[in-house]
A and B are shown apart, each in its own frame.
Chain A
Amino acid sequence: MRENPSGFEKTRRFLSRPVVSGALTFLFFLIMGLFILWQRYQILKEAEQREMSNLIGFIENNIDHALKNSYSAALSLALLVENDGSVSGFEQVAPQLVNENMVIDAVQMVPGGVISKVYPLQGNHQALDYNILKDPKVNEEALRAMREKKMYFAGPLELRQGGLAIIGRLPVFIQNDFWGFAAVIIKLETLLEQAGMEKLRADKYHFQFSKIDEKTGKETYFLPPISAESVEHSETISFPDGDWKVYIALKHPRELLYSLFPIGFFMFLLAAWLGWAMTNLLRQPEKLQALVKMQAGELSLSEMKFRTIFNQAAIGMARVNSITGSFLESNLRFQQLLGYSSEEIAELNVVEITHPDDLPEDVDKMKQLRNGEISEFSMQKRIKRKNGEMIWVKLTVSPLWAEGETPTTHIALLEDIHDKKMAETHLKESYEMVMEQNKRLLNFSYIVSHNLRSHSSNIESILNLYEETNDPEERDNYMEMLEKVSGALNQTLYDLNEVVSIQTNLDLTVENLKVKDYVEDTLGLLKVEIQKKQAKIFTNVPEEMLVKFNAAYMESVLLNLLTNSLRYSDPDRIPEIYITGTKVRGKWMLEVKDNGIGIDLVKNRDKLFGLYKTFSEKPNSRGVGLFITKNQIDAMNGRIEVESTPGEGSVFKVIFQ
């Protein structure tokens, strides 16, 4: 049964989704930003309120001050009233009061409610003789001052002489009998100016001045009306001396809020950016994972390609441990070349399959590669197959370690060049053979030309001499000489014929010859010479010594060697000739050793087996015997060697195939 994820698990997964986390981050920062904005708004609002309180306090002070001054002025006027009810000195005091107090526009004396005196008269004379107590429009406030027996500011009201003004009326009593009023007229305009309202931030604030009707409680406004919205953000003060109220209100109450909008917008953007960044940040692992997955795919594809190339290649490939030389991995072609299975190859190492003669070069080059002296190498070498066969390969080695790193493994490429190499070897052998034959041919033609010419030139000379003489005796002499030359020419032709016959005789019958028999036969032929020289012959040729050779050549070789030993014997010694047959490294060798005059091999080694090369002053040495002997042995694929010390003797060794 499948397990349903728990609610918590679901939530956790949901929250771990980048978009959700981003949205939450956005909300968090947005709320936090709004909270900070709200706080700021409150602080600013409080500051605004405080400023308004300060302003209104200042206005209150100014108005109070103005009212007090008015009161003092009214009092000064009241003191002008004599006990008899007459007023004295108004004309002197009034200008003084009006001039000293900026706020006071005019002063009046109002005995019994009738304006009897006024200063300045100019502009105010209409007010004269006006009974304020009798005018129901204005008597209310005058009566109130009488009743309360204290100064009360009436208005603002429309003056008879024009303009809005406040009238401060101080009731004057003479021994508790009401006399009248000492009045101070303050134009509203002047009061407001005095209060400093116009000067104080008229651009930022609205002001209002109102009067509350004592009886009806109705409020009358004297300044341009303030919007209801502004009223909400206002401060007020009351003046009981005139039942006034002064308002201060912001002209643009929403300005504060609006001023925070750019910051709010910025905070919104910041929160949005943070949300987006968070989303991206959380998506990063997902992206990386996708990238890793993609690259892993590519890697496995290239690995597959490499595998295919490695396995299907027509060249033998192996990965080899560069230190031990053991094979770590090999392809099919490599296994075919060696004839071993992949498992068997894993057990082998480079040394075991390399031909011993090629090993030093291989080892040396590997050493250079490990030391970083060379970056790769290739060489031709022979490898040993499983069946023991040696085949030629071209080896190319490329290291699998980077420059400067410790050697680890390398790739060895094996290319089968066996057939090519064999063809090359055969070609080389053929070339050498042809060169050798060519050399012999040149030598031969030289000899032929030289020897025949020596006779022909002699004949020519003799015939010339013969022609030029008439003496019969001398002529006979020349004929004898001609006969001698003819004989010598014949001999030369015979020798040359023999040489030519060896060199052209390619298919001679070769049979197993018992050497002992042939030695005895030859000694029989030389019996006379041996006896004449009193030579001692020591023969030690084993019965089983059988060699593959041509019979006629065998006779010729033995006769030549033994004749030479006898002919070049030292006249001061009894000649001794040792004939020995031995087996050396699987091959039969016949040795003919004498104690004759010997040959100076330092001078003559290269001439020894040459045609017409003679080394003694014996008249019958023609320089043909050893030449023919060597040619006969060569024709039988054998070898002849010589050791000799002048004055002690010579040893000729024939090594049979």
Chain B
Amino acid sequence: MSRSICIIDDDQIYQIIVKKIIFKAGIFEKVHCYENGYKALKDLRDPEISLPHLILLDINMPGMDGWEFLSLLKDHRPQLHLETSIYIVTSSIAFSDRDKALALPEVLGFISKPLTVGKLREIGEKL
């Protein structure tokens, strides 16, 4: 079964890096990248399509940030936490962000950048 992953982050360089890491980890066949919440929401809100297995979401993004994206997606998909696994991946190390993220039921984890192959494999095993 081919596993799919989705990256939502505005940092262009990070996107290139993360693709390399996904390739190296070798768990996911399909990779989608969005540079902000708007674009991701546009694609993912349709309840007809199935969500990727894993979503790596950044918090600080122009236009629509990670929090806003999450709450809007949940409006469209009330069963969000059953449909996919969401991890917050951010350069923030603030406790407030961490606590806020882990308090959300659909968020499975909070990862401070940099993301490594090892961390990704760890997550992949839990899927």
Q: Which residues 354-400 in A have Cβ within 8 Å of B in the complex?
A: none
- Say yes or no: A453-B14 contact (C-beta < 8 A), given A617-B38, A623-B62: no
Q: Which residues 68-111 in B have Cβ within 8 Å of A in the complex?
A: 90-94
Per-position binary interface string of chain A over residues 456-467, scored 1 when its CB falls under 8 Å from any chain B CB and 0 otherwise: 011011101100
Residues of the B chain whose Cβ atoms lie less than 8 Å from the Cβ of A178: none
Q: Which residues 463-494 in A have Cβ within 8 Å of B in the complex?
A: 464-465, 468, 481, 484-485, 488
Q: Indicate whether A454 reaches chain B with its CB closer than 8 angstroms.
A: yes
Q: Indicate if the CB atoms of B16 and A481 lie closer than 8 Å.
A: yes
Q: Indicate if the CB atoms of B13 and A449 lie closer than 8 Å.
A: no
A623 to B63: give the CA distance in the assembly, Å: 11
10 A-B pairs (CB sep. < 8 Å): A449-B92, A453-B93, A454-B14, A454-B113, A458-B13, A458-B14, A460-B114, A461-B116, A485-B13, A615-B62
Q: Indicate whether B27 reaches chain A with its CB closer than 8 angstroms.
A: no
Q: Indicate if the CB atoms of A458 and B114 lie closer than 8 Å.
A: yes
Q: Indicate whether A616 reaches chain B with its CB closer than 8 angstroms.
A: yes
Residues of the A chain whose Cβ atoms lie less than 8 Å from the Cβ of B13: 458, 462, 481, 484-485, 488
B residues with CB within 8 A of A: 11, 13-14, 16-17, 20-21, 24, 36, 38, 60, 62-63, 90-94, 112-116
A-B pairs with beta carbons under 8 A, tally? 67
Q: Indicate if the CB atoms of B62 and A461 lie closer than 8 Å.
A: no
Residues of the B chain whose Cβ atoms lie less than 8 Å from the Cβ of A457: 14, 91, 112-114
Interface residues on A, range: 20 to 34
- Say yes or no: A458-B92 contact (C-beta < 8 A), given A617-B36, A621-B62, A623-B62: no
- Say yes or no: A454-B91 contact (C-beta < 8 A), given A465-B17, A465-B20, A617-B36: yes
Q: Indicate if the CB atoms of B114 and A461 lie closer than 8 Å.
A: yes
Closest-by-CB residue of A relative to B13 is: A458
A457 to B116: give the CA distance in the assembly, Å: 10
A527 to B60: give the CA distance in the assembly, Å: 34
A614 to B60: give the CA distance in the assembly, Å: 10
Q: How many Å from the CB of B43 to the closest CB on chain A?
A: 15
Q: Indicate if the CB atoms of A462 and B113 lie closer than 8 Å.
A: no
Q: How many Å from the CB of A553 to the closest CB on chain B?
A: 26
Q: Indicate whether A446 reaches chain B with its CB closer than 8 angstroms.
A: yes
A451 to B60: give the CA distance in the assembly, Å: 10
Residues of the A chain whose Cβ atoms lie less than 8 Å from the Cβ of B36: 617
A450 to B21: give the CA distance in the assembly, Å: 22
Residues of the B chain whose Cβ atoms lie less than 8 Å from the Cβ of A464: 114, 116
Q: Indicate if the CB atoms of A614 and B114 lie closer than 8 Å.
A: no
Q: Indicate whether A612 reaches chain B with its CB closer than 8 angstroms.
A: yes
CB-contact partner of A450 in B14, B17, B63, B91, under 8 A? B91
Q: Which of B21, B36, B60 has the most CB of A within 10 A?
A: B60
Residues of the A chain whose Cβ atoms lie less than 8 Å from the Cβ of B90: 450
Q: Indicate if the CB atoms of A449 and B114 lie closer than 8 Å.
A: no
Q: Indicate if the CB atoms of A461 and B21 lie closer than 8 Å.
A: yes
A416 to B62: give the CA distance in the assembly, Å: 55
A573 to B89: give the CA distance in the assembly, Å: 39
Closest-by-CB residue of B relative to A623 is: B62
Q: How many Å from the CB of A159 to the closest CB on chain B?
A: 160
Q: Indicate if the CB atoms of A449 and B17 lie closer than 8 Å.
A: no
CB-contact partner of A446 in B11, B20, B92, B112, under 8 A? B92
Closest-by-CB residue of A relative to B89 is: A457
Q: Indicate if the CB atoms of B92 and A617 lie closer than 8 Å.
A: no
Q: How many Å from the CB of A28 to the closest CB on chain B?
A: 110
Residues of the A chain whose Cβ atoms lie less than 8 Å from the Cβ of B113: 453-454, 457-458, 461
Q: How many Å from the CB of A451 to the closest CB on chain B?
A: 8
A461 to B114: give the CA distance in the assembly, Å: 6
CB-contact partner of B92 in A450, A484, A488, A616, under 8 A? A450
- Say yes or no: A615-B94 contact (C-beta < 8 A), given A454-B14, A461-B114, A464-B116: no
Per-position binary interface string of chain A over residues 482-514, scored 1 when its CB falls under 8 Å from any chain B CB and 0 otherwise: 001100100000000000000000000000000
A614 to B62: give the CA distance in the assembly, Å: 5
A621 to B16: give the CA distance in the assembly, Å: 21
Residues of the B chain whose Cβ atoms lie less than 8 Å from the Cβ of A468: 24
CB-contact partner of A458 in B17, B62, B63, B116, under 8 A? B17
Closest-by-CB residue of B relative to A603 is: B68
Residues of the B chain whose Cβ atoms lie less than 8 Å from the Cβ of A616: 62-63
A481 to B17: give the CA distance in the assembly, Å: 9
Per-position binary interface string of chain A over residues 602-629, scored 1 when its CB falls under 8 Å from any chain B CB and 0 otherwise: 0000000000111111000101000000
Q: Please name the 9 residue pairs, one residue from A and one from B, whose CB atoms are nearest each other, closest first.
A: A614-B62, A457-B113, A454-B91, A457-B114, A453-B91, A461-B114, A461-B17, A460-B114, A450-B92
A502 to B52: give the CA distance in the assembly, Å: 46
Residues of the B chain whose Cβ atoms lie less than 8 Å from the Cβ of A454: 11, 14, 91, 113
Residues of the A chain whose Cβ atoms lie less than 8 Å from the Cβ of B60: 450, 612
Q: Which of A454, A468, A481 has the most CB of B within 10 A?
A: A454
Q: How many Å from the CB of A230 to the closest CB on chain B?
A: 137
A637 to B90: give the CA distance in the assembly, Å: 37
Q: Which residues 135-179 in A have Cβ within 8 Å of B in the complex?
A: none
A458 to B14: give the CA distance in the assembly, Å: 6
Q: How many Å from the CB of A531 to the closest CB on chain B?
A: 28
Q: Indicate if the CB atoms of A617 and B14 lie closer than 8 Å.
A: no
A613 to B60: give the CA distance in the assembly, Å: 9
CB-contact partner of A462 in B17, B38, B62, under 8 A? B17
